[in-house]
Chain A
Amino acid sequence: MLAFLVQRISQAFLVMFVISVIAFAIQDGLGDPLQEMVGMSVSEEEREAIREELGLNDSMVVQYLRFAGNALQGDLGNSYFYSKPTLEVIAEHLPATLELVIGASLIIVFLSVPIGVYAAIRPQAWLSKFFMGVSTVGISIPVFLTAIVLIQLFSIGVTVNWFPSDTGWGQWLNDFFSTEGGLPSYGRGDELTHLFGTWESGFFTGTGLMHLVLPSVSLASIMLPLFIRLIRAEMMEVLQSDYVRYARAKGLSAGRINFLHALKNTMLPVITVGGVQIGIMVAYTILTETVFQWPGVGLMFLEAITRSDIPLIVAYLMVVGLIFVVTNTLVDLIYGLVNPTVKLTGKKA
C-alpha cells in the first residue's frame, strides 16, 4: 500500500513538473515582457539594461527555476489586461465555474441513478429502450448545440402555427408545441449573495437560481448519457452475480435486493469514473460558459486568448493542470483503498 501511495504521488509530481515546463515554454516562446512594459521610445541600451535586471539574459534553466520557485510561492505573474496578480483574477472567476459544475453534477446524480437502475432492472421495457435511444442521440449532440437549442426553446421561445388555429384542437396543438421562453441566458444575474472571500453565490436568490438553470442543464447533458450507460452496465453485471441470486433464493424483496444490495456495489466503480469525469467537465465548461457568457474561468481563459494575455493563459494552465492531477490522484488512491483487488503497482501483470 505504501509503495502504491508513493508511486502515485511521485507520478503526480512528475506530471505537474511536465505541465510547468510546458507552461514555462509557452510563456517564454510567446510573451515578450519588455514589449508590454516599455514604449517604442526606449533606446536599445536601456532595453538591454532592463533585460539584464529582469533576468531575461540568464540561461533557460535558471529562468525556469525562477519561474517554478515563484509558482510554488503562489506568484504566477500579473495579468496584462486586469493588471493584478493572475491567481487573484482566477480566484475571482472560480466560484462561478464551481457553481456551474455543482449544478450540473446535481442534475446528473439525481437523473442518472434512477434512470440507469430502471434500465438495468427492466431492460426490455419500452421506457428503458427510449432512455437508451435518447442517450445514444445525446452523445452525438455537442454541448454548445444543446445550449443553443435550449436558449431557442426556453429563453427566446417558439411560437408554432402548424395547425389551423380556428378549430379548438388546432389551437390546442399549436399551444402544446409552442414554448414560453423567458429563462435568462446571459450571465449570472445581478442578485448574488456574498459568501466569503471572492465567492459570490447565485444559489440563494431566485434570479441567481434562474440564471443557473440553462447553463447547468447544458453542461449536464453531455455527461448524463455516459453515466446512464455506465450505471446500467454495472448494475446489470451485479444483478448476475451469485450473491444477488442467493438473496433472491432467500426470498428477500426485490426492492431490498435492488436498492440495498445491488446498488451499493454498482456505485463503487461509478464514483471513481465519476471523479475523473468531473475533471473532464472543466473542458466542457469552456464551451458552456462561452454560450451563456457565464463569468467563470472558462470564459476568462478564452478572453485571455483573444487578448493575448499570456500570463493569464499560463496561470490558467497551471491551475487547471493542478486540479486535474489532484482529482486523478485522489480518485486512484480512493479506488486503491476501497477495492483491495486493484493492481497496486500497475507493473508486470
Chain B
Amino acid sequence: MTTATVSRWDRFRESFFWHSFKRDKVAIVSFAVLLMMVMAAIFAPLLAPADPYDLAQINIMNSELPPVGMSGADPAFPLGTDAQGRDLLSTILYGTRVSLMIGFGAVVLQAFLGILFGLLAGYLGGKVDAILMRIADVQLSFSTLMVAIIVGAVFKASFGNLMFGEIAIYMLIFIIGVAEWPQIARTVRASVLAEKKKEYVDAAKVMGFGTRRIMFRHILPNTLSPIFVIATVQIANAIISEAALSFLGLGMPETQPSLGSLIKSGFDYIQSGSWWITLIPGLVLVVLVLVINLLGDWLRDVMNPRLYKG
C-alpha cells in the first residue's frame, strides 16, 4: 500500500545510482561541467555576442585580435578573433553546438544499427550471427577512424566540395554512425546471449509470443544498462572522430564550423603567433571529451553488476 505513495523521485533518491553519484566528486564535477557546456551550446544564439554565420557582422579589420589580457586586445572580443575577424567566443559556442549535435546524432544512429544487429545476432544465432559478427570483426580490425576517413573521402570525391559542405552535418552523422556500429552491436550481442538463457524468455516462448516481440519487448529492456554505458563513451569517440575528419578537411566547412574545423582553420595561423585561434577551441574540445569519458568510467563502475555485488 505504501509503495503506491512513493513517487518516482523518491525512488530515484533512494537508489544506489544516486547515492554513488553523491559520493563521487569526479562524477559531480564532470556532470556539472558537461551540463554547463550542453546548456551553453543549446542557448548559443542567445549567449553569443555575435552570430558567426552572419557575414554582415564580420569585419576583416578585426582579424587575429588576441584574447583579453594580452596587449592589443579588444574588450568586445573576450577570447579574441579568428583570421576572418569572427568573435572567437561566439564561434566556439556555435562550434560546440555543431560538435555535440554530430556526436549525439552519430551515437543515435550507431545505437539503432548496433541494437538491431546485436539483437538479431545474439537471439537468432547461427548463420545470421556468424555473418554479422564477421562483418563487425573486419570493420573493427580496420579501426573505426580509418573506415570513417575512407567513407568520408569517397563521399567528398563523389559530391564535390560545395555540395559536401552543405550537407556535411548529415554526412558526418552517417559516416561516424556507420563506422562505429560494431562497438555497440558486440555489447548488445553479449548481453542478449546471457539473457536469452533465462526463464522469463522461456516463459514468453511458452505463452506463444512472436520472436520479434520477445526480442524487443522482453530482452531489449534487460540489456539497456550496458548499452547506456557504452553509448556515453561513444559520444566522446564520435566527437573526436568528427574533429579528426574536420581537421583533415573531410568534415564541417569553415563557414559553419565545428570545434574540429575551428582547430584546423586556426592551425594555419599558429606559425604567425596567433595561438589562441587553434588552442582555445582545442582546450574546449579536450574538456568536453574528458568529462564525457570520466562520466562514462563512473557509469561503468556503477552499472557493472559484478563490481556492485563485490
Is A111 part of the contact surface with B, judged by Cβ < 8 Å? no
Set A143, A305, A310, A324: member contacting B141, Cβ < 8 A: A324
Q: Chain B: which residue is nearest A29 at the CB level? A: B158
B286 close to A151 (CB less than 8 A): no
A151 close to B270 (CB less than 8 A): yes
Distance of A139 Cα from B233 Cα, bound (Å): 12
A141 close to B278 (CB less than 8 A): no
Is A284 part of the contact surface with B, judged by Cβ < 8 Å? yes
Binds B, one of A37-45, A49-57, A113-121, A274-282: A274-282
Contacts of A156 in B (CB 8 A): 270-271, 273, 275
A313 close to B157 (CB less than 8 A): yes
Contacts of B157 in A (CB 8 A): 30, 305, 308, 310, 313
CB under 8 Å from chain A, chain B span 263-310? 263, 267, 270-271, 273, 275, 278-279, 282, 285-286, 289-290, 293-294, 297
Given contacts A286-B149, A306-B249, contact A142 B270 (CB under 8 A): no
B138 close to A313 (CB less than 8 A): no
What is the distance, in angstroms, from B265's C-beta to the closest C-beta of chain A?
12
Distance of A84 Cα from B290 Cα, bound (Å): 46
Prevailing SS type, chain B contact patch: helix
Distance of A305 Cα from B248 Cα, bound (Å): 11
CB under 8 Å from chain B, chain A span 276-300? 276, 279-280, 282-284, 286-287, 290-291
Q: B interface, how many residues as a size bin?
A: 35 or more
What is the distance, in angstroms, from B127's C-beta to the closest C-beta of chain A?
12
Is A328 part of the contact surface with B, judged by Cβ < 8 Å? yes
Is A73 part of the contact surface with B, judged by Cβ < 8 Å? no
Distance of A328 Cα from B139 Cα, bound (Å): 12
The digit string for B138-161, where 1 denotes a CB below 8 A from any CB of A, is 100111011001100110111000
Distance of A290 Cα from B243 Cα, bound (Å): 14
Distance of A77 Cα from B150 Cα, bound (Å): 19
Contacts of A140 in B (CB 8 A): 236, 240, 286, 289-290, 293
Distance of A18 Cα from B243 Cα, bound (Å): 29
Given contacts A279-B143, A280-B143, A287-B244, contact A144 B158 (CB under 8 A): no
Distance of A313 Cα from B236 Cα, bound (Å): 29
What is the distance, in angstroms, from B202's C-beta to the closest C-beta of chain A?
20
Given contacts A283-B143, A287-B248, A290-B248, contact A142 B285 (CB under 8 A): yes
Is B247 part of the contact surface with A, judged by Cβ < 8 Å? yes
Is A91 part of the contact surface with B, judged by Cβ < 8 Å? no
- Chain A interface (Cβ within 8 Å of chain B)? 11, 15, 18, 26, 29-30, 136-137, 139-145, 148-149, 151-152, 156, 276, 279-280, 282-284, 286-287, 290-291, 301-302, 305-306, 308, 310, 313, 317, 320-321, 324, 328
